[in-house]
Structure 1
């Protein structure tokens, strides 16, 4: 009796497990009864009639991703491979359509991606493909959304994740890019050199201007000092020519003293004998005297009556006396 109860209990547990089943989160179960669609079961504890009902399949409601690599040609005849990532999911209210209308969603999505990419990329040049990859992704999503909605699939997002031109084309693009950067660097270096030259020239010009202004001021002050010295010497009864000569000689010896105070100086002034200063003074006094006399009005022979009679008439011949 006890063993019979145990057997019946065991059979009841088996039958109970055949009647109940669980559905995981983000999953939908398709139930068929006698081979015909019966219902769709959502996540949780569910019941079915053994032998009569069967689980025909399950559909994941999670977002899935399909990577499609398409090789095509651009407008400038460059072969390029594009990797398009399509994110999609089954619409919760259209599990029936997703399960029964479309046998292989991956193949269907891949075909649409190939069709759209090979229609859009040949309209663009290679550089434009890189710049307008988002436009290509939008075109793929728009085409897929329209086609896959009727099959119970929603296209969440499409991304062009990789653009891979031919290897030789990539090397050529790298060389072009390197040449452009070298050209730009040369331009910047040339501009920098030009700016340095201009600024250096401006600095030198300003330095020369200030130097000239300083020399002019120095000479102006020296002239004022000399003028004051001459006035003082004139007040002591010394003529202007003698005062000027005395000042020059004084500056001469001051210059020799300044040169002698510098250690390691190799400058030699010629003449530099003890009589050089006196000779220079005499020469300067004579020069100043001669210049003063030249500036004074002189009486010509024509104005001297004593000599006018000795002047030969025009046309007369004049001979030098012969030596004995």
Structure 2
């Protein structure tokens, strides 16, 4: 009975040491006397007590780290970066797990190498760019860093899932100068737009004025033509009327100068009606009337001779 009890006391610890539980999302690297032996997958696993030992448990889940560092551009401007890196073990193949387990002495050494590699890659790229180019190269920086880092991580058994540059900021003095440049460029653009708008307004106004002058000139030209035609028609009708009147008086053996006298009296009547208060001096004496009649008769005879 005592022997059985002793056997149970010895067997129970040995039995407990013969099994190991590996959590989901994790694999365990097993060594024998310090040498790699095999990999334990998630679940309950058997191992040889006092011979096999779990060297390291490795998470195969995605992990993330946040970085803050500074870089210097080609024109000596300091740029502050905030980045987030998401990475994971590349796969669960044996060689990959061995790289992850034995490539670095510990997790701290791996993280230090990872951070320094990312910072160095970004700094090397930023050092070839001017400060005005950096803000517009966010996507280019991410692409180039991903390509470089992914190749390096694969040799360590990891792969890069995502890299995000959450913030890119310059020193306060540079930010102020950049803000002033942006403000001055905006003012310049606004002035140019205002000048173009004023030019368009002035041009349209000049075109409108030119069109108005041209239309007015055309109208005046047409009006002058119509006035001239009206005067010509009036004179033609007057001439026809006078010719017919002269013929009638001649047929009746009357002096044609009576027509001129009638026109003279009608003109005086028109002066009186349309004068609007203006004073018109006419020689109303008998000598003056005879003088005017002689002049009108002479003009009529001269016209007949022509």
Instruction: Decide: shared fold, TM above 0.5.
Output: yes
CA 1:23–1:235 in 2, change beyond 3 Å: closer, same or farther?
A: same
CA distance in 1, matches of 2:186, 2:126: 28
Aligned counterparts of 2:241 and 2:141: Cα–Cα separation in 1: 106
Of 166-175 and 154-163, more deviation after overlay is shown by 154-163
Partner of 1:300: none
Q: Give aligned pairs, total.
A: 256
- Indicate conservation of the 8 Å contact 1:73/1:80, yes or no: yes
- Supply the distance in 2 between the matched residues of 1:35 and 1:27 (Cα, whole angstroms): 21
2: CA distance between counterparts of 1:20 and 1:79? 52
Inter-partner Cα distance in structure 2 for 1:228 and 1:135: 88
Q: Structure 1 pair 278/20, CA: closer, same or farther in 2 (3 Å)?
A: same
SS at match of 1:46: strand
Deviation at 1:17, TM superposition (A): 10
2:208 and 2:176 mapped to 1: Cα distance?
Answer: 47
Normalised by the length of structure 1, the TM-score is 0.65
- Structure 1 residues 64 and 277: alpha-carbon distance in aligned structure 2, compared to 1, 3 A threshold: farther
Say which SS state the counterpart of residue 127 (structure 2) adopts: helix
Determine if contact 2:22/2:41 at 8 Å carries over to the other structure: no
Please state how far the C-alpha of 1:116 moved relative to its aligned partner. 2.3
Q: Partner of 2:98 in structure 1? A: 96
1:29 aligned to 2:28?
yes
What are the within-5 Å matches in structure 2 for residues 1-324 of structure 1?
19=19, 21-24=21-24, 26-33=25-32, 36-49=35-48, 53-92=52-91, 93=93, 94-102=96-104, 103=106, 104=108, 105-237=110-242, 272-273=276-277, 276=278
Q: Is the 8 A contact 1:72 1:122 kept in 2?
A: yes
Q: Residue 17 and residue 225 in structure 1: after superposition, are their counterparts in 2 closer, same or farther (change >3 A)?
A: farther
User: Does structure 2 retain, via aligned residues, the 8 Å contact 1:134–1:159?
Assistant: no
Q: Which runs of 5+ in 2 are unaligned?
A: 1-7, 246-258, 285-291
Q: Secondary structure at the match of 1:123?
A: coil
Deviation at 1:153, TM superposition (A): 1.7
Q: For 2:279 and 2:49, locate their aligned partners in 1 and report how far apart those are by CA, in whole Å.
A: 142
Distance 2:179 2:87 in 1: 36
